Amino acid sequence: MCSASTLAISCPEHARLESEFIEARDRMRGLMRLRKLEAAEERQLAVRVAMAIARLKEHVAEHGCERGGLVPSGPDLKKAWRKDN
């Protein structure tokens, strides 16, 4: 049986979802550093990050492939896209 890290590396869907999360998170962080976002714009970006996290977590739950620690949960979820991170 393969380890979780081996499964994650060999799973293209996991890699794609992980990349989607990182892209959404980095976009939100970058825009927040550049300028003051309007409430609607910030909410839209936050939803994009949250949905990317949800899709990745759902994939991990269904397939058991996980790199470990990249996708935040609980209190770390808000820190994932906070301005001061």
- Residue range 33-81, pLDDT digits in tens: 999 999 999 999 999 999 999 999 999 888 887 665 555 555 554 555 4
pLDDT at 80: 52
Query: Is 90 exceeded by the pLDDT of residue 27?
Result: yes
Q: Does a structural domain hold residue 8?
A: yes
The candidate with the shortest Cα–Cα distance to 52, out of 6, 4, 84, 20, is 20
Q: Does a structural domain hold residue 85?
A: no
Range of the domain at 41: 4-79
Q: Does a structural domain hold residue 72?
A: yes
Here the tokens at position 27 are 């976009």
Q: Number of folded domains in the chain?
A: 1
Helix (H) or strand (E) run with residue 48 in it: helix 39-63
pTM over 0.85: no
Q: Does a structural domain hold residue 75?
A: yes
Q: Does a structural domain hold residue 84?
A: no
DSSP 8-state assignment for residue 70 = S
Q: Does a structural domain hold residue 45?
A: yes
**Confidence grade of residue 2 (pLDDT, cut at 50, 70, 90):** very low
